[in-house]
Amino acid sequence: MNIIVCVKQVSIITTRSGIDPATNRLLPGELVHTLNPHDEAAVEEALVIREKNGGTVTVLTFGPPRAEEALRWCLAMGADEAIHVVEEASPDRSPFAVSNVLAEVIRGLEYDLIMFGKLAIDAEMGQTGTFVAEWLDLPVVTSVVRVELHPGERRAILHRSLGKGDREVVECCLPAVFTMDMQMNRPRYPTLGGRRMAERREIRTICLKKEVEALPFPERIPAVEILRMTPPKIRPKKILAPDENESAAGRMQWILSGGVARKKGGCITGDAGRLAEGIMNYLVEKNFITRSR
Amino acid sequence: MKTVGREILWNLPHQASGVLYSLLGVLLLLFAWGISSRIRFYRRGRTEGEYRLDRLWGRTRDVLRIGFCQKKVLEKNPGGPIHLAIYVSFIALFFVTCVVAVEHDLDVKLLDGDFYIAFKLFAETFGIVLVGGVVAALVRRCILRPANLNREGGDLVPLLLLGAVAITGFLIEALRIAATHPAAAPYSYAANAVARLFARIPVPELLRLHLGFWWGHLLMAFGFLALIPYGRMLHGIAGPVNIFLRSYHPTGTLQPIPDFDARESIGAGTIEEFSWKQLLDLDACARCGRCEEVCPAHATGKTLSPQKIIRDLRVSVSGDAYRLGGREDEHEGAMIEGIGVRAADVWACTTCGHCVTSCPMMVEHIEKIVDMRRHLVLGKSDFPPELEQMFRKLEVYSDPLGFGPARRTEWAAGLDLKEIGRNGSVDLVYWVGCAGAYDERYRNVAVSLARILKESGTSFGILGSREFCCGDFARRTGNEYLFRLLARKNMAVLEEYGVKKIVTPCPHCYNSLRNEYPAFGGRFEVIHHSELILGLMESGGIRARNSLVKTISYHDPCYLGRYNGIFDTPRRVLSKIPGLRLAEAGWSRENSFCCGAGGGYLWIPEQGSRINERRSSEFVDLKPDIVATACPHCMYMLEDGMVAAGGGGMIPESLDLAEIVLRSM
């Protein structure tokens, strides 16, 4: 089973102070970069599948030269190959443009499965994987939290997260595109051997200018255009004030408690027998159970 | 004319001498085989970078002081004096036997006249001391049973043998006196007293008994010697060797790994991955349990005990079926494959170094524990998940808390500090540390120190957003890779600005920068803020004007005190503040009790009761007005601990030295 995992190095905001007044964008110096956690979960899942079924795991990214760090991390985790489509200056490309580039590269590769993170935690668009599936004419399943592969029958059963604990179980034929949710697993932490392997491995780089610019789509049809950016509105800070109807002592107590509201309902105290009795009474009172006579 | 003296091998058949020397030959063979098998065992260990044959005089002196003169053994009662009694009399009686052998074999007449009388008194006295020592030790082991003395199978064998050898010695002498009534009998005062009991036994019977006891005495003495390389008495040989080959770097400092960049694996997951010196440590251990007695993890109900780690390693190598004593749950929890040490034990260590400093044999526990952690983290990627968050934050944000470089100077807002690089170079770099930069509470300490420095007119600057975590937590938790990443990042900045001198309020940064960064090319002086403040107070740079009429207790941070020997400086700073009265805690100075944060333990959830509450309860009982520390981690561990241990009552205020000094200025 050959799996391609598309990853992104995301920029994490560490401060709100450094906004460039001219563009309203965050100052580059205020950012730190790391592998998108949803993508990392996808890499982990791919490695688990490879351990079970054999094959290879190839990681693919499209981004500035520094994105190599994210690929090295994936290699240290155990990925077999890495491909980096390099773009020197990095304007924020729309998912539409990115998906075109990725699809073009993937067309030249052999694969049974393509994985993405369900979204990148910086831009939070969550579209790239779906677009790639469209360009490659493949089925796509998003927000996957569990994968049961049946490689012999070339199909997979997938659990999708619908939020609030709801799951949707779907079946999908292969090859396909899955976008993974980070809650599905706990990615491995690279060992020293893995790190060394990552240091030695060669990363195949594709220069965007030379090779991909000749493609029909990328930037010429911008699907989305950013009109303007504004700094976040400063929201008034909520200050909790004690209830005026309380007595002075009551207000002091409220402040000292740190404003923690007292829970409604009673509190049962006493020894074990009394506690059990209290709980029983409560359950009976609320009609959860009925007392047998 | 022969007045006193005695015939050697009296009452023995003439073949006795031949049998004796054949037995001695067997003994020596057994002994040599045992020692050589131990040496073969040490050679299974890896080589190490440290050169251990330098400063020969210092090493010899340490063997004499710590080994021969029992300096560290005597630090504890009653084990120290009991051991001294057995040890001294063993040597004295060995010497006595040698004198007899010399007289017999070299045919020199030594045991004659006054010398013989002195010799008798000497032997008699030490014989009594030996019996006394053995009895006291047996009482301690079998009746008093202190918890830290764990009992293994065969533990009592050497002790019982020694006692039996001494008692049969007395019996032989008494039987000889009873049979021959020699002139020197009164000088063998103890044996003479025993001889009275035999007064009614006919002489031939006495002679038969004498012969029997003589052979018993000989066989047991030889047996004891032959068993030395095979049991716990090996500490008598491996111990002095271990002391001679000890490390001289500050306690707990981890040694650089020279070929790290070329290594595919690191740490100790098999016996072969420990160094030969670490294996020698296993034999040097006398199983006295002093490390366990002082271990904060053990004291608060964790399964970790330093002596158990040593024993587990030894057991896993030898395959010996020692009877494993100790806590009931110690067989639970996953073992590290290849060595019989439980992973939970390895993660419960705070690297406080108390086991290392209390060991009379200079066994170094911490390096072994860190080596096993390295194996778990970088070899098997199997470690407490809480640590992973710390590792990832360190790698992405360069600080363990995940605030990022952009927020590193937030604490200094409004202080108008020089930032190196931006505002030119300075003589002194103020290394704030991650706690000073990000922790709400500790920021006040960072600010206090900055204000003291400004007040004194010292020219200093901060590295601002180009200061990164020193890597101490990563290194102690076994992530050498991450530590090197951070150390290189920091070194690049320090070299770029040509930093010559650094002051820091954090003992962990202090220890790393001072003792571990030289391996990465660090050529700068590092001082702790207590040293700087004391210097400023003595030179008049700052003056403590306001009187603080309060009692104060000082908690020694492990990485400052035991690791780097700074005990007096903070106390001298406090003594210079008018009105302050120092109330020393019981666990202080070299015996300070860890706060529970070191070695990355700050990030690992604790099993059992909490170390910081145990530590704090002493201060709560002592009731000073202030508990002073000089370490960010100690400060918040104590602050939390005292709230928990205080049970809602009044508790001392937890302050850093810098805050106290600033208050009095």
Q: What is the per-residue pLDDT across A151-183, written as a single tens digit (0 to 9) for each? A: 888 999 999 999 888 899 999 999 999 999 999
Q: What is the bridge-based pairing of β-strands A113-117 and A31-35?
A: unpaired
CA angle B332, B334, B338 (to 5 degrees): 125
A146 plus A272 within the same structural domain: no
User: Residue B644, exposed/middle/buried by CB under 10 A (0-12, 13-18, 19+)?
Assistant: middle
Q: What percent of chain B has pLDDT over 70?
A: 95
Answer whether residue A274 shows pLDDT above 80: yes
What is d(CA B455, CA B142) in angstroms, rounded to the nearest whole number?
Answer: 63
Closest Cβ opposite residue B379 in set A12, A34, A192: A192
Tens of pLDDT along B424-469?
Answer: 678 899 999 999 999 989 999 999 999 999 999 989 999 988 999 9
* Alpha-carbon dihedral B614, B620, B622, B625, rounded to 10 degrees: 140
User: Measured between beta carbons, which residues in chain A are less than 8 angstroms from residue B397?
Assistant: 14, 32
Q: Which residues of A touch B (CB under 8 A)?
A: 12, 14-15, 17-18, 29-30, 32-34, 186, 188-193, 195-196
Give the three-state DSSP class for B622. Answer: helix
A156 plus A14 within the same structural domain: yes
Q: Secondary structure of B32-78 in the HEC alphabet?
A: HHHHHHHHHHHHCCECCCCCCCCCHHHHHHHHHHHHHCCCCHHHCCC
Q: Which of B24, B448, B407 is nearest to B219 (CA)?
A: B24
What is d(CA B166, CA B126) in angstroms, rounded to the nearest whole number?
Answer: 9
**Residue in B with minimal Cα distance to A27:** B406
B413 CB near a chain A CB, below 8 Å? Answer: no
Non-local (6+) Cβ contacts of A177 within 8 A are A114, A115, A116, A129, A130, A132, A133, A136, A138, A139, A140, A141
A179 plus A69 within the same structural domain: yes
Closest Cβ opposite residue B381 in set A32, A34, A191: A191
A56 plus A19 within the same structural domain: yes
Q: Domain for residue A221, yes or no?
A: no
Q: Does a cis peptide bond (omega within 30 degrees of 0) precede residue A232?
A: no
Q: Domain for residue A227, yes or no?
A: no
Q: What is the CATH number of the domain that holds A184?
A: 3.40.50.620
A183 plus A42 within the same structural domain: yes
Mutate to test the interface with B, among A10, A66, A72, A191 (most CBs of B within 10 A): A191
In which residue are the tokens 């290849």 written? B338
Answer whether residue B530 shows pLDDT above 60: yes
Closest approach of B403 to chain A, Cα-based (Å): 6
Non-local (6+) Cβ contacts of B341 within 8 A are B309, B312, B313, B316, B335, B372
B497 CB near a chain A CB, below 8 Å? Answer: no
A248 plus A112 within the same structural domain: no
- Please report the pLDDT score of residue B481 as a whole number: 95
Q: ipTM value of the model?
A: 0.86
What is d(CA B314, CA B244) in angstroms, rounded to the nearest whole number?
Answer: 21
In which residue are the tokens 């079998």 written? B142
Closest Cβ opposite residue B404 in set A14, A189, A195: A14
Which has the minimum average pLDDT: A59-68, B401-410, B438-447?
B401-410
- Please report the pLDDT score of residue B90 as a whole number: 95
- Please report the pLDDT score of residue A59 as a whole number: 97
What is d(CA B238, CA B286) in angstroms, rounded to the nearest whole number?
Answer: 10
Cβ contact (<8 Å) for B404 and A33? no
Q: Which residues pair with residue A149 across a beta bridge?
A: A156
Non-local (6+) Cβ contacts of B283 within 8 A are B38, B234, B235, B238, B242, B314
Tens of pLDDT along A3-55?
Answer: 999 999 998 876 655 677 777 777 777 788 999 999 999 999 999 999 999 99
Rounded to the nearest integer, the mean pLDDT of chain A is 85
Q: φ, ψ for residue A169 (rounded to 5)?
A: -105, 125
Cβ contact (<8 Å) for A12 and B263? no
Closest approach of A158 to chain B, Cα-based (Å): 27
Domain ends where: A196, A212, A228?
A212
Q: Which of B75, B71, B450, B456 is nearest to B293 (CA)?
A: B75
A55 plus A199 within the same structural domain: yes
| Residue B328: band (very low, low, confident or very high) from pLDDT cuts 50, 70, 90 | very low
Cβ contact (<8 Å) for A192 and B481? yes
A254 plus A197 within the same structural domain: no
Kindly state the average pLDDT of the residues B311-319. Answer: 76
User: Measured between beta carbons, which residues in chain A are less than 8 angstroms from residue B405?
Assistant: 14, 32
Q: Domain for residue A217, yes or no?
A: no
Count structural domains, chain A.
2
Tens of pLDDT along B168-209?
Answer: 999 999 999 998 888 888 888 888 888 888 888 888 999 999
Mutate to test the interface with B, among A189, A200, A201, A256 (most CBs of B within 10 A): A189
Asked whether B622 and B583 are in contact (CB, 8 A), the reply is: yes
Answer whether residue B330 shows pLDDT above 80: no
B103 CB near a chain A CB, below 8 Å? Answer: no
A140 plus A241 within the same structural domain: no
**Run of H or E residues at B657:** helix B657-664
User: Measured between beta carbons, which residues in chain A are less than 8 angstroms from residue B388?
Assistant: 189
**Which domain, by its residues, includes A276?**
236-293
User: What domains appear along chain B, each with residue ranges and CATH number?
Assistant: 16-239 (1.20.950), 265-324+331-379 (1.10.1060.10), 397-538 (3.40.50), 543-664 (3.40.50)
Query: Which of residues B220 and A25 earns the better pLDDT score?
Result: B220
Q: What is the bridge-based pairing of β-strands A167-173 and A155-161?
A: antiparallel
C-alpha to C-alpha distances, B632 to B495, B506, B637, B656, nearest whole angstrom: 26, 6, 9, 8
- Please report the pLDDT score of residue B624 as a whole number: 94
A182 plus A145 within the same structural domain: yes
B54 CB near a chain A CB, below 8 Å? Answer: no
What is d(CA A39, CA A44) in angstroms, rounded to the nearest whole number?
Answer: 9
Answer whether residue A261 shows pLDDT above 90: no
Mutate to test the interface with A, among B407, B408, B419 (most CBs of A within 10 A): B407
B388 CB near a chain A CB, below 8 Å? Answer: yes
Asked whether B571 and B530 are in contact (CB, 8 A), the reply is: no
Answer whether residue B311 shows pLDDT above 90: no
A290 plus A242 within the same structural domain: yes
Query: Which of residues B153 and B511 earns the better pLDDT score?
Result: B511
Tens of pLDDT along B231-288?
Answer: 889 999 999 999 999 999 888 888 888 888 888 888 888 888 899 999 999 999 998 8
Closest Cβ opposite residue B263 in set A12, A29, A192: A192
Q: Domain for residue A223, yes or no?
A: no
Answer whether residue A127 shows pLDDT above 60: yes
A81 plus A172 within the same structural domain: yes
**Residue in B with minimal Cα distance to A199:** B261
Q: What percent of chain A has pLDDT over 90?
A: 51
B646 CB near a chain A CB, below 8 Å? Answer: no
- Interface size A-B, in CB pairs within 8 Å, comes to 51
In B540-624, which ranges are continuous DSSP H helix?
568-575, 611-622
- Please report the pLDDT score of residue A251 as a whole number: 74
Domain ends where: A179, A212, A245?
A212
Q: φ, ψ for residue A141 (rounded to 5)?
A: -125, 125
Tens of pLDDT along B87-140?
Answer: 999 999 999 999 888 888 887 777 778 888 899 899 999 999 999 999 999 999
- Please report the pLDDT score of residue A238 as a whole number: 67
B318 CB near a chain A CB, below 8 Å? Answer: no
